């Protein structure tokens, strides 16, 4: 007895057929948007996926009454996917001449984040030594996990406003033009990265790697070093104890006295 074929399209094949990438499709698969379009073997039902993406990405509330409307919403879904892909790429790129600014901004975020360990120390004050060490260790691990996320540049309000009218307000011709512009822009950005005109933020921060590695080591050593003192500390004393250690770590991240002063002020609050 022959089996009925249920195999649909792979993420890559579906993305290519819709003018985008498999990565962009996987993003919407992971979000749950495409769940009703996933067949038993994990492949994609293209017709269902088109409808889901059109509804989910263009915020439509009514089914298209005509073939022209259906095509327009399909085009809007393609444009939305391309915009997602381009935005995601741009958030991870920076021009080499802006490397110092990016490194400084990332370090400010790191220093701000580690400052939160002062509150964790307050909660661990007066605990038995093993519990105090465990509580601080959990806080440090959570912090390092947060800091390990891929660095991204945030789009400014001006950049978002420059995106123009919403997709649902565009005509079919405007959507086609927007799709062509996005495809061209995506190719341009990919070419710039290949030629070194722009570079990944994570690669910029690798030059800051030694300081960050030292920070990680210092943070991991912190819980066992301060736990015996937390046993006999009030919450205020515990915060002061951790603050002293964090100030030393923050200063080690600085490249000049102005940065060191700023990072100290962030820790102190």
Burial of 218 from C-beta contacts in 10 A (0-12 / 13-18 / 19+)? middle
pLDDT in tens, 69-109: 888 888 888 898 999 889 988 888 888 878 778 788 888 99
Residue 65 has pLDDT above 80, yes or no: no
Q: Write down the pTM of the prediction.
A: 0.51
pLDDT in tens, 35-45: 888 888 888 88
Q: What is the DSSP letter of 265?
A: H
d(CA 49, CA 191): 30
Q: Return the number of other C-beta atoms located less than 10 Å from residue 50's C-beta.
A: 20
DSSP for 18-83, please give it: TTS-HHHHHHHHHTTTTGGGB-TTS-B-HHHHHHHHHHHHH---S--SSHHHHHHHHHHHHHHHHH
Q: Where are the domains of the chain?
A: 1-91, 97-146+200-268
Q: Max alpha carbon distance in the chain (Å)?
A: 79
pLDDT in tens, 169-218: 888 889 999 999 999 999 999 999 999 888 887 777 666 667 788 899 99
The end-to-end CA distance of the chain, in Å, is 73
């Amino acid at each position: 007895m022959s089996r009925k074929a249920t195999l649909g399209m792979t993420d890559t094949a579906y993305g290519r057929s819709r003018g985008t990438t498999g990565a962009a499709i996987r993003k919407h698969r992971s979000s749950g948007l495409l769940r009703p379009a996933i067949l038993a073997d994990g492949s994609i039902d293209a017709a269902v996926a088109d409808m889901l993406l059109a509804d989910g990405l263009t915020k439509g509330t009514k089914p298209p009454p005509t073939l022209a409307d259906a095509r327009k919403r399909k085009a809007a879904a393609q444009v939305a996917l391309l915009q997602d892909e381009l935005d995601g790429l741009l958030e991870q790129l920076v021009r080499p001449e802006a490397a110092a600014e990016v490194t400084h901004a990332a370090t400010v975020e790191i220093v701000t984040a580690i400052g939160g360990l002062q509150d964790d120390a307050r909660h661990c004050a007066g605990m038995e030594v093993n519990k105090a060490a465990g509580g601080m260790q959990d806080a440090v691990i959570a912090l390092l996990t947060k800091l390990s996320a891929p660095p991204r540049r945030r789009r400014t309000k001006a950049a978002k406003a420059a995106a123009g009218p919403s997709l649902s307000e565009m005509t079919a011709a405007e959507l086609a033009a927007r799709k062509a512009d996005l495809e061209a822009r995506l190719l341009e950005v990919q070419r710039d990265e290949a030629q070194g005109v722009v570079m990944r933020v994570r690669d910029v921060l690798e030059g800051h790697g030694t300081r960050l590695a030292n920070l990680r080591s210092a943070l991991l050593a912190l819980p066992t070093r301060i736990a015996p003192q937390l046993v006999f500390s009030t919450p205020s004393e515990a915060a002061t104890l951790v603050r002293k250690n964090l100030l030393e770590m923050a200063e080690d991240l600085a490249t000049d006295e102005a940065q060191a002063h700023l990072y100290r002020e962030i820790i102190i609050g």
